[in-house]
Structure 1
Amino acid sequence: MQQWPYISALLSDVMQSLPLFKPELCLTGLFLMVLAIDLIYRKNGVNGSRTLACAGILLVMVANWGQYILLDDRTEMLFAGSLILDHGTIVLKMTIDVAAFILLLYFTWDDDLKAHKKGLGDAYSIIVASVLGLHLMVMSGTLLVVFLSVEMVSIASYLLVAYRTGNGQSAEAGLKYVLFGMAASAVMLYGISLLYGLSGTLSFAGPQMAQQLMLAHPAAVMLAMLLVLAGIGFKLSFVPMHFWVPDVYQGASTPVTAYLSTLPKIAGFGLLAALVRPFAAGQLGGDISAILAVAGVVTMIAGNFAAIWQTNIKRMLAYSSIGHTGFALMAILTFNAQGAKALNFYLGAYAVANLGVLALASYFANARNAHTLDDLKGLGSKYPIASVCFVVLLVSLTGIPVSAGFNAKVLVFSAVYNVYEQAHSPFMLALLITGAVTTVVSLFYYIKVPLYLFLKRPDDANVVHPATSRKLLTLIVVLTVVVLLLGLFPDVVANFM
C-alpha cells in the first residue's frame, strides 16, 4: 500500500509530460504509417511513403516551434527527469528536422541509390525512426536514455550504410561500420555501468552525480568518463574514434554519407554538451575539458591535413567532416550560453553547406559518373550553375566572409576567446591557434574543386552530356542561397539560437 502514492505521482508526472512530448509522439505515429504503406504497397507505395514522411516531418517542425514559443526560457524535466526540454534542445531538434526533410527530398534524386532493386520505401521509414532517436539524444537526461537513443540511431545508420546490398563497397562499408559501432557501444555501456556504480544514479542533469563522483577514486571516475566519451566520440568521429569515417563515407551511397555527416553529428554534439555541462564547475570539469581540448586540437589537425592528400571527393569530405568536428568541440568547452548559441549556429550552417556539397557530389555522379577530382576537369563551363554553387558552399565550409560558415566560425572564436580572456587557459589558447591554422589549411583542399572545375581541361571535350536532374539542382541552388543569406543576415537566425 505504501507504493501507491509513489505510483500515483509517477503517473501524474507522465501525464503532465505527454503534451511536451508531442513531436516525438508524432514521429512514432509517422514511422508506423510510413512503414505500413511500404509493407502494403511495396514499390508502388514509394512516392506515397516519401510524401507522407515529408509532410510528417513538416508537422513535427510546427510542433517543435510551438514548444519553442511555449517554454519562454524555461527548462522542463519530462518523465521523472529522463528527458530535458529547453530552448537549446528545441533548436537542435528543429535543425535535425530541417536536415531530415532535405534528406528525404534528396534520397530519390540520387540515381545510384534510386536504381537499387528494393526501392527506397524502407529508407524513408528508417530515416523517420532515426529522427525519433536523434530527438531523444538531444533531450537525454539520464544515462539509460543516452544508451537507448544512441543505439536507435546506430541501428538506423547501420541499415542505411549497407542499404545497397548488391554493391560490394556498400556491403564492406556496412560491415566495418557495424563492427566498429558494436565495439563502441559495448565500451560506452561499460562506462555507463561504472558511472552508475560510482554515483548511485543514472541522472546526470542534476548535481547528485557530479557530487558523488567527486567522492569516488579519481582514476575510476576518469576511466568511466573516457569510456562514455569514446562511445559518443564514435558518433562524432573525433580522434581517435574517427578511423571508420573515410571508408564508410566513401563506400556508402552519397545521400547516406550526407545523413551520417550531419544528423548524428548534430545530435551527438547536443548530447555531449548536456553530458559535460553539470561537471563544468568542479575538478572533474577541468579534467574533461583537458581531454576534449586535446581531442579537439588533434582532430582538427588530423582531419584537415589528411584531407589535403585525397583525390576521391567523398573521402576528402570525410576528412573535412572530421576537421569540423574538432572545431565544434571548441564551442562545447566554453561551458556557457554564448558557446551553446555559437555551437547551434555552427551546426546549422555546417549542415546546410555539407548537405549541399554532397548533393553536388550526387549531381556530378549522375551527370558524368564523376567521383574523383580528375573527373571534374573542365566541368565548370558545362555545368555553370552547379559549379558556382559548389564554390559558394565550399567557401562556407572553409569559413570565408559573406557566407554562413564565416559567421559561424566568428561566433565560435568569439566565445572561446572570451573564456580565454577570463581564465587564460592554455587549452583555450591552443584551440584558438589550431582553429585558425587549420582553417587556412582547409583552403588547400577545398580550392582543388574550383581548380579542377574551371582551370583544368576536360579529357572528353566532345562527349555528349546526359540530361541532369533539375530537381536536385533546384535543391542545391536553394541551399546555396540559404548559405549566402545566413552570411549576409546572420542575426535573423542567430537570435533564435
Structure 2
Amino acid sequence: MHDLIPFIPGSVNDVLGSLPFFLPEIYLTALFILVLITNLLFGRNSEKLCRIIACAGILLVIQRDYQQIQLLFMSGRLNGQFLFNEMLLLNRTAINFKFIIDALAFVLLLYFGWDNRLKSHPKGLSDLYTIVIGSVLGLHLMAMAVNLLSIYLAIEMVSIASYLMVTYRSENAFGTEAGLKYVLFGAASSAMMLYGISLLYGFTGSLNLFSGNLLPGLIQANPVAVSFSLVLVLVGIGFKLSFVPIHFWVPDVYEGASTPVTAWLSTLPKIAGFALLINFLRPFVYFEKWDGFDFKLALSIIGIITMIAGNFAAIMQRNVKRMLAYSSIGHTGFALMAIVTYNSTGIAALTFYLAVYGLANIGALALATYFANALDADDMNSYKGLGLKYPAASVCFVIVLVSLTGLPISAGFTGKVLVFSSVYGIYQQNHNLWLLLLMITGALTTVVSLFYYIKIPLNLFLKRTEFVKNTLIKSQNIIVLSIIISVLIVLLGVWPDFLFKLF
C-alpha cells in the first residue's frame, strides 16, 4: 500500500487534467441523472418532459462534441489526448464518431414517441429515455476506449442498456423469446471476450493497448494461444457489429423488438463498434515488430462471408424488419472493407458510409412504423397498392431504399464509391488478392441487394390489391421526419463534400 502513495499525486493530476476533454460525457452523466430524477418525481406523467429534457440535453452534448475539436487544436494535441491514465483516447476520429452517434440519437429520441405499439406501454416511455441516455454515454466510451478494461466496461454498459431496450415492450411470445435470445447471446459473447482479455493479461501483465508490455509481451508468448485470445476479444466486438458468425441473434431480435429499438440496435451500437475496432486494431497495425495474428486477413475473410450471408439471406425474407436485419449484416461486411485498408482515407470513407447508412436505415424503419401505425402492416405483401394512397411515405421509402442499395444519386452511392476507392487505392500498391476479392464481393452483393430492396417499391406501386384496410392512425410526424431524411440523402449524394470534409 505504501508503495502506491508516491503515484497518487500524479494520478490525481492526470484525472483533473482529463476533465476538460471529457465534458460531453460529464454532460451525458448529468443528463442521465436529470431524466431519471424527473421520471421519479412525476411518474408516468413525466414522459413528454423527459423526452424534451433528453432531446435538449443531446443537442447540448453535440455542441460540446464540436468544442472538443477546437480544444484539441488549441492545446496542440491534434494526434489525440489520452485520458484517465490512458484508459481513453480522444482524437478526431473518436469525435467524428461521437458526433454521428449523438446526431442519430437525437433523431431516434424523437422517433421513439411516434411508434404506437411502443407508446402503448403501460408505464409510458420515461424509463426508456433514461436507458437511452445511459446507452449514449456507453457508446461515447466505446468510441474512445483504448484499454482492454475500459473496452470491456464500455461494451457491457451498452449491452445492459440494449437488453433493457429490447425487452422494454414485448408484443407477443416471439418478442419475449427474441429478448431472451439477445440476453443469452450477449452473455455468452461477453464471457468469451472477458476470458480472452484475461488470457492477454496473463501473457503480458498489461491491459494498455498503446503502452506498457502488452504488444511486446504478446510477441514473446505462444502464437497459437495469443491468436486464440485475440479471436475471443474479437467475438465480443463482433457481437456489436453482428458480423458472421456472431450474427445469429440479429434477425429474431430485430423482428421481435419494437421498431424504434430495432432502428437503435441496427445503427448506433454498430457505429460505436466500428470506432472501437479502429482503436483496438491501431497498435497492432502500426507496431512494426508484430508478426502474429493477421487481423487484415481475418477481417477480409469475415467481410466476404458476411456480405454474402447477409445479402443472400435477405432475399428470402417477407417481413420488412427481418429483411432490414439481414441487410444490416450485409452492410457490416461492406464496412469491414474500409477497416481492412486502415489508412486515413479508408477511415474517412468508413465514417461517411456509416453516417449515411445510419440515416437511411432509421428512415426505412421509421417508414415501416408509419405503415404499421396506419394499416398494421408488417410484411411486404401488406404494402400492395399503397403507393398511390400514401404517396409521400412511399416516395420517401423508395429514396431511402435507393440509398441503402447504393444507387446514384443517393448518399449511399457516394459512400460505397468512397469505400471502393479507398480499397482500390491500397490494392494498387500491394495487389493483395483478398482486397480484390473484397471489391468483387462488394460489387456483386450490391447488385444482389437490389433484388430484395426493390420488393418494397414493387409492392407499393406496381402490385394491386382488391381490399385496403382503413387507416388506423396517420403519423404525420414520421412523414415530416422521412421527408427531411430523404432530402438529406439526396443532398449528400449530390454534394458529399459538405459532410465528407468534416471527417
Confirm or deny that 1:464 pairs with 2:470.
yes
- Residue number in structure 1 paired with 2:214: 209
Q: Could you tell me whether the CA contact under 8 Å between 1:138 and 1:267 is conserved in 2?
A: yes
1:458-491 residue CA offsets vs partner (Å, 9 max, x unmatched): 2414x43334011111111111111111101110
Q: Could you tell me whether the CA contact under 8 Å between 1:169 and 1:252 is conserved in 2?
A: no
1:362-403 residue CA offsets vs partner (Å, 9 max, x unmatched): 000000111001000000000001100000000100111111
Confirm or deny that 1:68 pairs with 2:74.
no
- Residue number in structure 1 paired with 2:109: 104
1:286-336 residue CA offsets vs partner (Å, 9 max, x unmatched): 611111111000000000000001000000000000000000111111111
- Residue number in structure 2 paired with 1:293: 300
- What RMSD in Å do the two structures reach over aligned CA positions? 1.3
| Cα drift, residue 38 of structure 1 | 0.9
Aligned partner of 1:63: which letter? R
1:326-364 residue CA offsets vs partner (Å, 9 max, x unmatched): 001111111111111111111101000000000000000
1:104-146 residue CA offsets vs partner (Å, 9 max, x unmatched): 0000000010011111001100000000000000100100001
Confirm or deny that 1:171 pairs with 2:176.
yes
Confirm or deny that 1:355 pairs with 2:356.
no
Q: Could you tell me whether the CA contact under 8 Å between 2:170 and 2:257 is conserved in 1?
A: no
Distance 1:213 1:171 in 2: 43
Aligned partner of 2:238: which letter? G
- Residue number in structure 1 paired with 2:433: 426
Distance 2:459 2:214 in 1: 54
| Cα drift, residue 69 of structure 1 | 2.2
Among 341, 350, 355, the residue aligned to 2:348: 341
| Cα drift, residue 2 of structure 1 | 5.7
- Residue number in structure 2 paired with 1:279: 284
Distance 1:370 1:3 in 2: 63
- Mark the CA change 1:363 to 1:419 in structure 2 (over 3 Å): closer, same or farther: same
Equivalent runs, 1:150-189 vs 2, <5 Å? 150-165=155-170, 167-189=172-194
Equivalent runs, 1:78-477 vs 2, <5 Å? 78-165=83-170, 167-206=172-211, 208-281=213-286, 282=288, 283-284=290-291, 287-461=294-468, 463-477=469-483
Distance 2:13 2:376 in 1: 58
The secondary structure found in structure 2 opposite 1:119 is coil
Aligned partner of 1:239: which letter? V
Distance 1:416 1:251 in 2: 36
Q: Could you tell me whether the CA contact under 8 Å between 2:375 and 2:470 is conserved in 1?
A: no
1:226-249 residue CA offsets vs partner (Å, 9 max, x unmatched): 000011111110000000000000
Distance 1:280 1:296 in 2: 18
Q: Could you tell me whether the CA contact under 8 Å between 1:187 and 1:227 is conserved in 2?
A: yes
The secondary structure found in structure 1 opposite 2:82 is strand
Name whichever of 464-473 and 101-110 sits farther off: 464-473
Confirm or deny that 1:495 pairs with 2:501.
yes
Corresponding residue pairs, total: 496
Aligned partner of 1:32: which letter? I
Name whichever of 237-246 and 211-220 sits farther off: 211-220
Distance 1:193 1:2 in 2: 25
Q: Could you tell me whether the CA contact under 8 Å between 1:154 and 1:181 is conserved in 2?
A: yes
Distance 1:248 1:41 in 2: 32
- Residue number in structure 1 paired with 2:40: 39
Distance 1:494 1:403 in 2: 14
Give the fraction of aligned pairs with identical amino acids, expressed as a percent. 56
Q: Could you tell me whether the CA contact under 8 Å between 1:377 and 1:459 is conserved in 2?
A: no
The secondary structure found in structure 1 opposite 2:472 is coil
Among 465, 475, 488, the residue aligned to 1:482: 488
Q: Could you tell me whether the CA contact under 8 Å between 2:352 and 2:500 is conserved in 1?
A: yes
1:48-97 residue CA offsets vs partner (Å, 9 max, x unmatched): 00000000000000000000122133310001110000010000001000
Name whichever of 371-380 and 4-13 sits farther off: 4-13
Distance 2:292 2:463 in 1: 51
Aligned partner of 2:364: which letter? V
Q: Could you tell me whether the CA contact under 8 Å between 1:206 and 1:278 is conserved in 2?
A: no
| Cα drift, residue 5 of structure 1 | 3.4
1:414-468 residue CA offsets vs partner (Å, 9 max, x unmatched): 111111111111111111110011001100000111000000002414x433340
Aligned partner of 2:242: which letter? S
1:238-273 residue CA offsets vs partner (Å, 9 max, x unmatched): 000000000000000000000000010000000011
| Cα drift, residue 496 of structure 1 | 0.9
Q: Which runs of 5+ in 1 are unaligned?
A: none
Q: Could you tell me whether the CA contact under 8 Å between 2:65 and 2:98 is conserved in 1?
A: yes
Q: Could you tell me whether the CA contact under 8 Å between 2:241 and 2:332 is conserved in 1?
A: yes
- Residue number in structure 2 paired with 1:58: 59
Distance 1:416 1:302 in 2: 21
Aligned partner of 1:105: which letter? L
1:177-224 residue CA offsets vs partner (Å, 9 max, x unmatched): 001100000000001111111222111134742222112111011000
Q: Could you tell me whether the CA contact under 8 Å between 1:280 and 1:286 is conserved in 2?
A: no
Q: Which runs of 5+ in 2 are unaligned?
A: none
Distance 1:208 1:403 in 2: 47
Q: Could you tell me whether the CA contact under 8 Å between 1:276 and 1:285 is conserved in 2?
A: no
The secondary structure found in structure 1 opposite 2:377 is coil
The secondary structure found in structure 2 opposite 1:81 is coil
- Mark the CA change 1:286 to 1:52 in structure 2 (over 3 Å): closer, same or farther: same
Distance 1:375 1:2 in 2: 70
Q: Could you tell me whether the CA contact under 8 Å between 2:219 and 2:292 is conserved in 1?
A: no
